[in-house]
Structure 1
Amino acid sequence: MYIVPEALIADLVSREASFEAVEQVFAAMASKDAYNFPVVREAIGHEDALYGFKGGFDRVGGSLGLKAGGYWPHNLEKRGLINHQSTVFLFDPDTGKVHAMVGGNLLTALRTAAASSVSIKHLARADAKVMGMVGAGHQATFQLRAALEQRSFEKVIGWNYHPEMLPNIEKVANEAGVPFEAVDLPGMQEADVIISITSAFAPSLMADHVSPGTHLACMGTDTKGKQEVEAALLARAKVFTDEVAQSVSIGEAQHAVASGLIAQSDVVEIGAVINGTHPGRTSDDDITLFDGTGVGLQDLAVASRVVALAIERGVAIEVEF
């Protein structure tokens, strides 16, 4: 069994490698060569934490395993730790033996950012110039770095429940040489692409905050009850997701489906766009929305690359188990 500690992850995986792994596994899901297992995600009644398991099997990539972890909202203020904590376990699909244990915190941030940037590549207008950010926490910085690589953005605008956190994303924009402006939510009408990355249980971005032609990546809703955008916005949009079953049960689409504004059949896996079996955006006026619920296969795909590279470089810790 190999162990790849959290401290090694930054030197073993890049945004580019994460993007390629996630794009490939989305395509494999759409072609039924990979599938996710049912998600377990529960409030444990301690520290206000959400804890769960996400797993799956990719026949093409040979990845089998799960990610265990969740969200501890008081970690940063109480302990100086990031609020999201997770570990990935990989198994040999031929024997069932455990193959590797991989630190999952940075990996989760990279694979989540990769998913939204994959959606921008395949669904945003080619001439998108203004990048909008709803949310400015730890994960938002990863989201913005990855997104800025997908189009020639000329401006970043941002909003956050706590405005004092906006410098987090302003710094990323400035590092990329792109000017930043803080806006109220109606100001998001200027954006050509919007990423929402909050942990909200009530919508902030409303349908009238979004202009025709915008692409949205809703990345924060991954639990029953969470909601970042008004359900009416999904009714205006072409809705895509990582996995339909998760989208309609724990993702942003749960609210639009429950209220009858859209049907489950209106939600399309983005892998079908990647594979070319769905046209995706067909007009510059289309509003496209990616409901990024976060699937276990994303974690397994990136973790598999991490382990292979760690073994190749001789930095993986090998133990008898």
Structure 2
Amino acid sequence: MLIIPEALIAGLVSEVDALAAVSDCFASMARGGARNFPVVREALGQGRQYGFKSGIDVSGGMLGLKSGGYFPANMERGLTNHQSTVFLFDPDSGVPVAMVGGNLLTALRTAAASALSIDLLARRDAKVLGIVGAGHQAAFQLRAAARVRPWEKVIGWNLHPEMLPKLAAVAAGLGLPFEAVGLERMVDADAIITITSSPAASLMAAHVSAGTHLACMGTDTKGKQEVEAALLAKARVFTDEVAQSVMIGEAQHAVAAGLIEAGAITPLGDVVAGMQSGRQSDGEITLFDGTGVGLQDLAVAGMAVKRARERGLGFTVEV
């Protein structure tokens, strides 16, 4: 079994690599060549979340899982709040193939999924990017979004505004002006990324203008919520996987309230594969409910394993 520690990941998988891997993953899901297994996700108390995401990609020859979660006290320990590890197995024999550090890979694949939704669903003339949230993953989101569209300005809001200067510095590094705003100013954005760990909605329907695309990336557990359920009722909703969206994503609240039906949610993979249309008008609100699926983790981990083997990196152990 090949062990690839977290310290090696940055040199093996780039943001461009992650976008390609996630796009291929969505297409494979849409065509029936890959499927996710039910998510195990539990609250541990004190804001901690832990779980497993797993799946099999028959066409890609991968079987595996990601184990990890969110530990909000880690920053005080000098650690990243999101901690995860990906395990890959041979799909024919079940023999362990690799253990791969998953912290950076999770950030990269989450940002890639968001950027892919923006590229496919945002208006072609979108110029202002809004970001709700300024934690560790917000910087990845901003950089990935800047790869797919030529933004003219970034506006940002965070519950703790003292964190926004770090996001402003990332924008500056991309040559983009940044403005800290109140949530009511999100009406100025053509696309909005929400990337928080909020247990209650912060972005309301009144904060979103007609024609906006939203990439809601923070809700991945029962009870979490970033946007008002009424906003999904006003939007055409897309997701990585419908069952997961309804169970642990933003759609859980809108479906429970009877505002939308699961059957009205479109898998983003269907758009990637050309099986369904994306945005249908400039005035339409589109919303991507990015819950994060195990197959995305396998895709980027598989890329890391391929590169590590090519370069003779990592550590091999007998199992």
Query: Which residue is equivalent to 1:119?
Result: 117
Query: Which residue is equivalent to 1:129?
Result: 127
Distance 1:154 1:48 in 2: 36
Query: Which residue is equivalent to 1:71?
Result: 70
Query: Which residue is equivalent to 1:146?
Result: 144
Amino acid paired to 1:27: A
Distance 1:49 1:232 in 2: 28
Query: Which residue is equivalent to 2:2?
Result: 2
Alignment: residue pair count: 319
Q: Which whole-Å deviations, capped at 9, do the CAs of 1:294-318 have from their partners, x for residues lacking one? A: 0000000000000010010001211
1:193 paired with 2:191, answer yes
Query: Which residue is equivalent to 2:286?
Result: 288
For the aligned residue pairs, the C-alpha RMSD in angstroms reads 0.8
Distance 1:48 1:246 in 2: 21
Amino acid paired to 2:36: N
SS at match of 1:260: coil
Distance 1:229 1:49 in 2: 21
Amino acid paired to 1:25: C
Distance 1:156 1:42 in 2: 34
* Correspondence 1:210-229 to 2 at 5 A: 210-229=208-227
Distance 2:27 2:291 in 1: 16
Unaligned runs of 5+ residues in structure 2 are none
Amino acid paired to 2:308: A
Answer whether contact 1:137 1:168 (CA < 8 A) is retained: no
Query: Which residue is equivalent to 1:52?
Result: 51
1:23 paired with 2:23, answer yes
Give the deviation of 1:48 after TM superposition: 4.1
Q: Which whole-Å deviations, capped at 9, do the CAs of 1:269-313 have from their partners, x for residues lacking one? A: 000011111111010111000000000000000000000100100
Distance 2:53 2:247 in 1: 14
Amino acid paired to 1:17: D
Query: Which residue is equivalent to 1:253?
Result: 251
Query: Which residue is equivalent to 2:182?
Result: 184
Distance 1:236 1:136 in 2: 26
Distance 2:59 2:290 in 1: 22
Query: Which residue is equivalent to 2:311?
Result: 313
Give the deviation of 1:44 after TM superposition: 2.9
Unaligned runs of 5+ residues in structure 1 are none
Q: Which whole-Å deviations, capped at 9, do the CAs of 1:239-286 have from their partners, x for residues lacking one? A: 000000010010000000000000001111000011111111010111
Distance 1:44 1:109 in 2: 22
Amino acid paired to 1:62: G
Q: Which whole-Å deviations, capped at 9, do the CAs of 1:197-241 have from their partners, x for residues lacking one? A: 000011110001001111000000000000000000000100000
